[in-house]
Amino acid sequence: MANMTMIEAVQNALDIMMDRDPSVVVFGEDVGYFGGVFRCTAGLQKKYGRTRCFDTPISELGIVGAGIGMAAAGMKPCVELQFADYMYPAYDQIVSEAARLRYRSAGEFTCPMVVRMPTGGGIFGAQTHSQSPEALFTHVTGLKTVIPSTPEDARGLLMAAIDDPDPVIFLEPKRLYNGPFDGHHERPVVSWKKHDLGAVADDATAIPIGKARIMRLGNEVTVLAYGTMVHVALTAAEETGIDAEIIDLRTLLPLDTETVFGSVRRTGRCVIIHEATLTCGYGAELAALVQEQCFYHLEAPIQRVAGWDTPYPHAQEWFYFPGPKRVGEALRATVEAI
């Protein structure tokens, strides 16, 4: 076993896949010479050359459009958008071209492309560097949407995403890049490299897309979370003493409904957490699915804990996040409901 930060895990996955397959190319704004704004691509250009890891103009539409063309021609581009907030100029290319290419061409062309982007808050980036737009991708047929919460998952899921024959949106919670936290602090309070929290296997293997992981076993309530909010949920369960079963979804689309429904049917209660705004967030889809499939097992209303329905606040960033206090209140209300 080795210990890595999430940044190192992402870099390691890219290195492994570029070494295994010469058709894998990595590009985006500042990813080449500089190694990426968060250093996730550090050293790749030096190792593989400027034809396989290179910088692009500041044009998200152009970056993704070029990736789609390369993918249709048989390559495996892994492109980086510097922040998830910057994806809007590229959204038309992602939705209208990448996601539809296989269907529109009756399988003659495919788009084995990964679009990596740092997501969420935690760096006081305000409205243009802190958004969580995952629901905009999970709504789109033809895309897969992945978001890891640990270095092991970041490496394994990214390897699987690069090998996938269809486009994958790979969201990286920037608040977790350098270490986990207890939900109360603005910066990581524990290094991934301590206490084996960032342990990854020496023999790197892909983690299948579409499979959730139970992070904490429990009997009173099921908590559905992903990315940064997995660590908030773990803290809230510990601080409240509630016997919560915490599921890290890992893949939002396709969703591991077997694990989700099995847990909710057993506990009879469900709390859903995400950092994005509440209205029409991905939690609404989760709540609808749980209600449809687990209705006769539910003993309390489904609770959602999410970001405010406001533009992303800079000065009040840490109050915007669902923290252990808000999550704990939802857990108590759900468990105590009759």
Element (H, E) at 233: helix 229-240
Smallest CA-to-CA distance from 287 within 256, 259, 267, 264 is with 264
* Residues known to be catalytic: 129
User: Residue 307 in contact with residue 280, Cβ under 8 Å?
Assistant: no
Q: Helices 282-294 and 257-267 meet at what angle, rounded to 10?
A: 60
Written as one letter, the residue type at 77 is P
CA distances (Å), origin 24, targets 59, 139, 154, 156? 21, 27, 18, 16
Report CA Rg, the chain. 19
Question: What dihedral do alpha carbons 208, 210, 211, 212 form, nearest 10°?
Answer: 130
User: Residue 90 in contact with residue 61, Cβ under 8 Å?
Assistant: yes
User: Residue 82 in contact with residue 107, Cβ under 8 Å?
Assistant: no
Give the separation between CA 147 and CA 175, rounded to whole angstroms: 13
Give the separation between CA 239 and CA 242, rounded to whole angstroms: 8
Smallest CA-to-CA distance from 291 within 306, 308, 309, 272 is with 272
Smallest CA-to-CA distance from 242 within 265, 269, 264, 203 is with 269
Angle at 24 between CA 23 and CA 29, to 5 degrees: 130
Give the separation between CA 175 and CA 315, rounded to whole angstroms: 17
